[in-house]
Structure 1
Amino acid sequence: MNQRICLCLPTNRACPATLTALNDEAAYAARHQGADVQLLILDSSDARTRAEHARVVAGLHPAPGVTVHHLDEDAQRTFLCRTLARAGLPGPGRLLRLLLPPAVSYGACTNRAFLLAAALGCHSLHRRDSDSAYQLHAGQPVFPVHHELPWLGRPAAEATAAGLRTDLGATPGDRPVSLAGASFIGELSVDIGEIRRRDEGVYHDVVSLWAPGHWPEERTRRLVEESFTGAGTAPFTHDRAVLTRVDPMRVDMCNVAFDRAVYERIPLPPATDTIGSDYFLLHLVHDAGLPGILHNRHIENFHTPERRTGTGFPAYQRRFVKFLLSMLYFHHVYDRMAAEGAGLLDERHRVRPDRIVGFLRESTTLDRAENVWRLDRVDTAYRKLGGRYEAFAGQLLAERARLLEEAESDIEDYAHLAEAWPALMEAART
C-alpha cells in the first residue's frame, strides 16, 4: 500500500503560481515515489482571492495518486467544531480560538493542518509557504519531497544501511527518522533587510535581542551573522543529504516535513501576530535526539509587498517585536529540553507531552525584566533610524504593558493547547 502523505500550503494571500507548483510537486511524489498525496490548501485569504484560488484549483492538471483539498476558514471551522465535540474537552470555545484565531498565527494554521492530516490518515506532513518558490535546475523544479519521503518514520539504522550519509554518532539506530528539511535562498526570512541596509549597527542591536540576555558578546555576534539568512544565495547544483540531529538554524518552515509521531504528540505555539511561532518542533526534535535528514533542496524565498505598506509595516514590525519577547520564555524551555535530552521520549521513542507542558508552565513564572530591557533596546534602535521606524517606536511605547502581557499569555495558551492536544488528535483520527 502506498504511503499516504499530506503536502500542505497554508495561505492568507493570493498565490496562484504557488498552487500550480505545489500540485506539480504532489504529482512528482506520486509518480516517482509512489506516494498517496493529500494536497491540502488551507485558505484564509479574502473572498475575492479565495474565488481566484478555487478557479486555479479547479483547473489543476489531475495527477494519479493526488487528491486536492481546498478548505476555506468556514470549512476548517466546521471540521474543528466536530473534532472538539468528539474530544469532549472542557472549554471548547477557548480551544477553538487557539486553533482558528481571528488574527494571523503561523502556528495555529499549521496545527489545523496537523489535525486534518491525522483525519486523512497521513503518515507525515510536508509544509510549504505561499511566499516562496521552487528552484530550477536544468530547467526542472527542485522538489524537496524527493528527500523527505523515503525515510520518515523508519528507523535511522535502515537509512544508514541503505547508504545514506550519517553523522548521528551514538544516537540509537532504532529511533525513527522524525524530520526532513532544508532552508531557503534569497531574501532574509524576516523582512528586516531595510534595517541592515540603513544601519549595520542598529541591525546588530535589534537582531541580537533574540539571544538570551546572559550570552557573551561573541556568541551573540555569531547568532546575528547567521540569523534569518537561510542557505545564502547560491543556487542548487547537485543533491546532498545527511542523516543527523538537525540544527534548527538550518531548516525553514517553508521547507520541512515531520513524521506524524512528532506532530500528533505536540502542537505548535498558537500565538497570534508574531513571527517564529511555528519553529518549536524543530527544537524539540533536535533536543530529544530524534534523527532527521538535512538536505540542500532549498526553496527560493521572497517578500510580498504588503509588509511595507502604511498599514502592513507597523503590523509586521509588531510581529517581529513579539517574536523577540517570546524568546524570554522559549529559551528557558529550550534549555530545559536540551538538559532533558532523551528523557523527552518514552520507551517507544515518542515525545512525552507532559514534559513539554511542564516546561512551558514553569517558564511563565519568569521575571519580565529581561523583556522590559528588550523593549528599551528596540525603542532606542528604531528611534535612531527615524521616519516610520521612529513612529513605530512611539506606538510600541503606548503598547508596552499589553505586549509584555501578551508574551506571557501566549505561553499559557500554548501549554493549555499542548495539554489538550492528545485528545484532539484522537478525536481527529476517529
Structure 2
Amino acid sequence: MEFVIKISQFLLSLSLLIILHELGHFIPAKAFKTRVEKFYLFFDVKFSLFKKKIGDTVYGIGWLPLGGYVKIAGMIDESMDTEQMAQEPQPWEFRSKPAWQRLIIMLGGVTVNFLLAIFIYIGMSYFYGDTFLPNENIKDGLEIENTVAIKAGLQTGDKILAVDGDEIETFSEIPEKVLFGKEILIERDGVQSTIKMPEDFLAQLLDSKEKGLIKLRQPFIVVQVPDTSFNKVSGLKKGDIIVGLNDYPTKYTDEVKIALEKFKGQTVSATVKREEQKIILPLKVSEDALLGLVVAGQSTSKTLEALGYYDYDVKDYGFFESIPVGLNKAKDKLVSYWDQLGAIFTPSTGAYKGVGGFKAIYDIFPSFWSWQVFWSITAFLSIMLGVLNLLPIPALDGGHVAFLLYEMVSGRKPGDKFMEYAQMVGFFLLIALVLFANGNDIYKAIFG
C-alpha cells in the first residue's frame, strides 16, 4: 500500500509538471500561429498508450515516463527531423518566425515552471500558514548524531547561531545551511566560537551512508513495552517519559543514552513523567546499554509543544498577505537550488555523488498521503525543472535560448547543419547526465 501511495504521488506530480511545462511552449506557439505537430505526456518510443489528432496536433500519452514533449514544426529538436528541415520554410514553421517570437516560445516552459512554484507557495501560505520553530526558542541546543558532523567539530547541545555570516532565524534553515556552509558560528556552554567546515563535507556525508545530520533533541517517550522485554513488569506504560536515571537528569533521549552507558548491567531508579505527575520505577539496563523498549522517534511539533519542550510560532496569512510570503519562499528555494547545483558542478565538494535520478525523486515522496507535503514537493520540483531546463545545453530549452540570444545580438542565425550537430552533442550530453543520475540511484540501491 505504501508503494501505491508513493508511486501515485510521484506520477501525479511528474505528469502535472510535464503537462504544464509543455503547455508553456504550446500556448505561445499557437498564439504566434506556429504549427504544433505533437503534444505528448511521456515518451512514445515505438508506440503510444493513447493518441488522438485534433486539428494539426496529435495529443498522446507515451509508455515511457521519463518526460514529455511538444514537436513544433520547423524546429531542430530531439526528433532530428532533417527531411522537414530540407524543405523550403513555411510560414507556419518555427524557423520562419521572428527571433523574439521564437525566444518567447522557448522560454514558455521554464516560465510556467517558475510561475507554478510561485502559485503553489502562495496557495500553501494562504491555506496552511506557517508553523516554525524560532532558533532562539531552542534553549538546550541541537542533537548531532552524525559522526562526520561530530568529526567536523559539532556536538550535541550546540546552538547554531549563524552560517557564513547569515543569522539563523528558524530551525528549518539549519540542516541545509550547514550542509553547504563554510563557517558555522555556534554557542557551546555559553561561549561562542566558529567552526570551519571541510570543503568535502558533503562528500564525507555521502560516503558515510549515515542518515540524518542535525535534529531537535527529543524526549524519551515510551511507545511500547514488548512482552519479551526484560522490563515488562517494571510498571512502564505507553506515553511515559523517562526524565531521570538514578540521580542523572535525562530531559532528552541523547542524555538517556549517555546515562545507560554508565549503568550497563545494573538496575536503576528511573524518574518517569506520567501526565502531570512524576513516579519512580525500577528499570533493568542490559549489558548493551538498552532498556528493551520501543520509543518514539521524531515527535510532531504539537507533541513537543504540549510537553513543554519547544515553543513554536504559527502564522496565518490573508490572501493578499500570502502573495509576498509565497514569492519570498519561491525566491529562497530558487537560490537554494542554484547553490546546490553550484556545489554539484564543483568536484572538490563531492556533491556530485549525491546526484539522483527518478528513484531519488520517487523517494522524496512520503509513504502517506498529505496534500500539503505533495504540493510542497511539487513546487520544489517545478523550480528544479525550470533551472535545469535553463542550462545552456543544446538539447534543453536553455541551449535553444542561448542560440536565439546570439542570433538577436549578432544578427546572424546559426546554420541548420550547425544546429543539427549541436543538438546531437547536447542530446548525448543529456543522455550521459540522465545515465549518471540514474546510475547513482542503482549504485546506492545495490551497495547501500
TM-score (norm 1): 0.26
TM-score (norm 2): 0.25
CA radius of gyration, larger in: 2
* Bigger strand share: 2
* Bigger helix share: 1
